[in-house]
Structure 1
């Protein structure tokens, strides 16, 4: 297929990733799509932003890329946090893609557990020590092993401030605003964004299709060929 006749596909990697995260998947999709792998500020070789970003800022950044490159007809693919950006941009009406592809996407409110609540209480008890070495160690333990927000622990600077801002934003009640054809692909054993989140996206986005494959949260890297086959066989 000639390059100028291919559909435009914009790919967004997950938090902590880079262009390289989706390189193998892009190779598999290049027969059908002209692929644009965007790299978020502060990831890979891209400099950090100058101020903490909220979800609307990430969506605006995506819109700006489309405008600067004169792309008016396109589809969007997002893995993990990249999917959350797509949920923001499309549910708000900012962008109107032809199709969207969500892979192990973030954006659904996690279930609270007794264990999580218990350790949040411990965090409150240790608040007086928050500026000490002990307090920092306790906070990292709670985030990484109990709340499972290890991305927060690994993040620093402006990205950490951004993480705090957008981490509590969820799209459970906005899914009905998404009316474009939607493909949802999930790793059966994903422990970061569990399968029930994919099922909730599927039930909330009218007409969407959910495909579950063996794998965990990193299926675009683990099984790029299998993920690509689903996309190529179920999109326009």
Structure 2
């Protein structure tokens, strides 16, 4: 049987229901094959989708990569929820969460996570960040250390690697061919599939180098 937990009152969690004008009650109880219940909260004025399972003393928070969502962690959640409380959320723009404004950046996403944990009355957690989720975990560790026990980075983004000269030659060749109008050239699938607003967010996110934040993390 899957673990599940309700924490705090409806008012404390600001979870969407029929009394909330943002409510879509047909989605409020949304079961999945693992038996986890999808919940919604209003975070920074928008609807955010999340799962909270298990009732262990220690909390684990899973942060998904770009183009993914909370369901990517279902197997891990199933294995861990007997011992820990496990939270996974859909970042704004992914899964069943609302889309963010086009000015969003990593700092906004980190603030969303911090606000959700505050609503859930979670004082401290260990954060697992995959790819883009790693960026958010680094941001949390640097600017919200009071809620971070530790971070675990999985194939994380955030620190720009040193590039070999061959990389820049490929970039230059791509730009030249693009100007010549060569067909068949495709950009990043992560980028090309996005709405115009999310493209602006994506460019801002991928160009954000967090190397200078590492010294803030203890």
Which TM-score applies when normalising by structure 1? 0.62
Identify which of 94, 105, 109 aligns with 2:156.
105
Is 1:57 the counterpart of 2:116? The answer is: no
Which TM-score applies when normalising by structure 2? 0.66
1:8 & 1:173 partners in 2: Cα distance?
28
Is 1:19 the counterpart of 2:58? The answer is: no
Aligned to 1:85: 136
Name which of structure 1's ranges 165-174 and 89-98 shifts more when overlaid on structure 2.
Answer: 89-98
1:120 & 1:104 partners in 2: Cα distance?
23
Is 1:162 the counterpart of 2:213? The answer is: no
The runs of 5 or more residues in structure 2 that have no matched partner are 6-53
Count residues in correspondence: 167
Tell me which protein shows more helix as a share of its residues: 1
2:102 & 2:145 partners in 1: Cα distance?
22
Contact 1:108 1:172 in 2 (8 A): yes
Identify which of 83, 93, 97 aligns with 1:42.
93
1:94 & 1:168 partners in 2: Cα distance?
24
Residues 6-62 of structure 1: CA deviation (Å, up to 9, x unaligned): 312211111111121111111111122111111111212222112231111111111
Aligned to 1:75: 126
Name which of structure 1's ranges 2-11 and 54-63 shifts more when overlaid on structure 2.
Answer: 2-11
Aligned to 1:171: 210
User: Does the C-alpha gap of structure 1 residues 106 and 23 become closer, same or farther in structure 2, counting only changes over 3 Å?
Assistant: same
User: Does the C-alpha gap of structure 1 residues 61 and 114 become closer, same or farther in structure 2, counting only changes over 3 Å?
Assistant: same
The runs of 5 or more residues in structure 1 that have no matched partner are 145-149, 180-236
The CA deviation at 1:109 is 0.8
RMSD: 2.6
SS at match of 1:60: helix
